[in-house]
Structure 1
Amino acid sequence: MKLNRRMVIAGMAGAAFAHGPLRAFATTSAQTGDYAFLSVSDGNLVLPRSFFFDGLPQEELAQALAPFNLPHDQLEPPCNLALLRNKERLVLFDAGSGPAFMPSAGTLLDRLEALGVTPDQVTDVIFTHGHPDHLWGVLDDFDDLVFQEARYHMGQVEWEYWRDPKTVETIGAARTAFAVGAARRLDAIEDRMNHFVDGAEVLPGIMAHASFGHTPGHMSFEVGGDSDALMIGGDAIGNHHLAFARPGWASGSDQDPELGAQTRQRLLDKLAHEQTLLMGFHLPNGGLGRVARDGNTYRFVEADQ
């Protein structure tokens, strides 16, 4: 697979995503199957360390995190959206945070503009899951659809979970706003929605992989095949540190921590064995890289290393 991390848009990427001159913009690009790929930033989240690390064995945690030099108060995970283009389609994976979730996020439209891409050029939006930083960007400040020409795609299990009126009562107080916000936004795109199941070809060359646990119906997506394969992992592998160093540990970001850990270990094993390129929503420097095995643990190798 041809790839280039943090490139200035030109050549392949520029030709693939616009029809005229582009302003310089640092990003991550690759070619997979029939698609040109770019990661596009939606800014970053700001979360307390406790969100990730509360309840874990502190001595072993300190050893696992020592190589990463993480801040001691809060973490600022990036938000990377995948954008694919071929001759027929411009496909966006997830819709970002939009204006209503977190001040540090919601920059997607500015970044698309820098690429010469307008929202009405997006033909398809494929969701990994329904959390705010992945879904809420479908609506703007006036509750109008941002991607007005797009068809939307979400796994059947995930759709049913967020559309179930009981979810707001069972999701827990910390995530109640997630459920209310998801229901409102999914209602707005219901008549444009396509549902799919594990193993389905969502669009030509894009296959769905169930990666449940982070949410009840979280999906990852394999694009291309063989040496050109790319796995768009969403939040199934949620960070570049503990998710790789201790994949079997529970994560506070997962709605089902036990299932999330099982999924994470299975996916890391697959990616390391097959050396499939991984695009992670919250992984660093555009989110593109490979999984290397270190004995019983793993590490994330960024695309240009």
Structure 2
Amino acid sequence: MLDRRCMLAAGAALLLPTGRFPASAQVVARIGADDAGVTVLSDGGFEMPAAMLARDIDIAQVRDAAKVGGPLTTVLNVTCLKRGQDTIVFDCGSGANFLPGTGKLAASLEAAGIAPDSVTHVLFTHLHPDHLWGALDDFDTPLFPNARWLAGAEEVGYWTNPKVYEGLPEDRHAFAAGAQRVLKELGDRLETRTPGQDWAPGVTAFSTAGHTPGHVSFAFNDAQGPVFVLGDALTHPVISFAHPDWRPASDHDPDRAVATRRALLERAVAEKARIIGYHLPGAIGRVEKQGAAYRFVQPA
């Protein structure tokens, strides 16, 4: 088994945290009733270089657009949907072995009054560490013992392919090793699905590939209309909207990710959907057209 300290060191080499980070467990946002709505929970956060927001763009321009003078603080938002007898969690945080400042999901679940054994489904947008590694608790057993675990067949196939390391830069090898370890522990509990299917009652997956090869987002409806849970399809509250053609360093396939962002933004505008972003501060908002680009608008 690959030592976890090695995985942490390799992941940190990519993200270069500075040591300042949001650390409090919390409920980030809610929509609908507590027993029939959405609760967004914090898994903490970390800082990374602003240069990660865009490849091949002058850093001064990136910082000006993002309104940051130094490193960028990114948050981790885990969405929980209660619907009838089902409690559905979208992604499950980074666990205790990713980066300092992360791994707050268990405390946030407790703060929200959501018992892990009440969760019926866990749906993964993709299998990066901050979305997957929290699947296991401190004893390497599934955090949600009674849940069905579902991930995209293409995403699982990519990370479990023995040749995955050949297509990854060395500083991301830990991402693959960690994914393989967690998926092995989940074992037969993990089910694979494809976009276009209902992965849970009333929750449909749709392809938003580019950030990773099999990245998916999820759509469902409530009394106010459509809601999209986007994972990392849109990752910054300004850059992803005002500059969708910029290419974040974290995207596996930058060109495909650009096409995905543009199509997703147009769909969100056309359907007047509320969106929930894993790394968007405040998590929930809407997309509005702004000239040839877009903007992220949050409730007052």
Q: Please state which band the TM-score falls in when normalised by the shorter chain.
A: 0.7 to 0.9
- Structure 1 position 45, deviation (Å): 2.3
Look up the SS of the partner of 2:230 in the other structure: strand
Which of 135, 139, 142 lines up with 2:139 in the alignment? 142
**1:110 is matched by which residue type in structure 2?**
A
Q: Is the Cα–Cα contact under 8 Å of residues 138 and 145 in structure 1 kept in the other structure? A: yes
d(CA) in 2 for partners of 1:60, 1:73: 12
Look up the SS of the partner of 2:96 in the other structure: coil
- Structure 1 position 144, deviation (Å): 2.2
**Which shifted more, 225-234 or 102-111?**
225-234
Q: Is the Cα–Cα contact under 8 Å of residues 201 and 208 in structure 1 kept in the other structure? A: yes
Provide, for residues 71-90 of structure 1, a one-character-per-residue CA deviation record: whole Å limited to 9, x for no partner.
x2211111111101122111
Q: Is the Cα–Cα contact under 8 Å of residues 53 and 247 in structure 2 kept in the other structure? A: no
Provide, for residues 42-85 of structure 1, a one-character-per-residue CA deviation record: whole Å limited to 9, x for no partner.
0112211122234214565466x1xx532x22111111111011
Instruction: Give the structure 1 partner of residue 53 of structure 2.
Output: 52
- Structure 1 position 147, deviation (Å): 1.3
Look up the SS of the partner of 2:99 in the other structure: coil
Q: Is the Cα–Cα contact under 8 Å of residues 31 and 228 in structure 1 kept in the other structure? A: no
Q: Is the Cα–Cα contact under 8 Å of residues 127 and 153 in structure 1 kept in the other structure? A: yes
**1:37 is matched by which residue type in structure 2?**
V
Aligned residues: 275
What TM-score, normalized by structure 1, do the two folds share? 0.85
- Structure 1 position 141, deviation (Å): 2.6
Which of 70, 93, 97 lines up with 2:94 in the alignment? 97
* Displaced runs of 4 or more, over 6 A: none
- Structure 1 position 169, deviation (Å): 2.7
2:185 pairs with 1:184: no
Q: Is the Cα–Cα contact under 8 Å of residues 168 and 180 in structure 1 kept in the other structure? A: no
Spell out the pairing of 1:104-183 with structure 2 (5 A cutoff). Answer: 104-183=101-180
d(CA) in 1 for partners of 2:51, 2:116: 36
d(CA) in 2 for partners of 1:122, 1:50: 37
Which of 271, 282, 300 lines up with 2:296 in the alignment? 300
Which of 229, 236, 242 lines up with 1:232 in the alignment? 229
**2:288 is matched by which residue type in structure 1?**
A
- Structure 1 position 95, deviation (Å): 0.9
- Structure 1 position 170, deviation (Å): 1.8
Instruction: Give the structure 2 partner of residue 20 of structure 1.
Output: none
Percent identity of the aligned residues? 37
Q: Is the Cα–Cα contact under 8 Å of residues 27 and 39 in structure 2 kept in the other structure? A: no
d(CA) in 2 for partners of 1:195, 1:31: 29
What TM-score, normalized by structure 2, do the two folds share? 0.87
1:26–1:170: structure 2 CA closer, same or farther, 3 Å change rule? Answer: closer
Look up the SS of the partner of 1:90 in the other structure: strand
- Structure 1 position 290, deviation (Å): 0.1
**1:49 is matched by which residue type in structure 2?**
A
Q: Is the Cα–Cα contact under 8 Å of residues 27 and 40 in structure 2 kept in the other structure? A: no
Instruction: Give the structure 1 partner of residue 284 of structure 2.
Output: 288
The two structures, once aligned, show a CA RMSD in angstroms of: 2.0
**2:49 is matched by which residue type in structure 1?**
P
Look up the SS of the partner of 2:150 in the other structure: strand
Q: Is the Cα–Cα contact under 8 Å of residues 86 and 119 in structure 2 kept in the other structure? A: yes
Q: Is the Cα–Cα contact under 8 Å of residues 206 and 218 in structure 2 kept in the other structure? A: yes
d(CA) in 1 for partners of 2:222, 2:82: 16
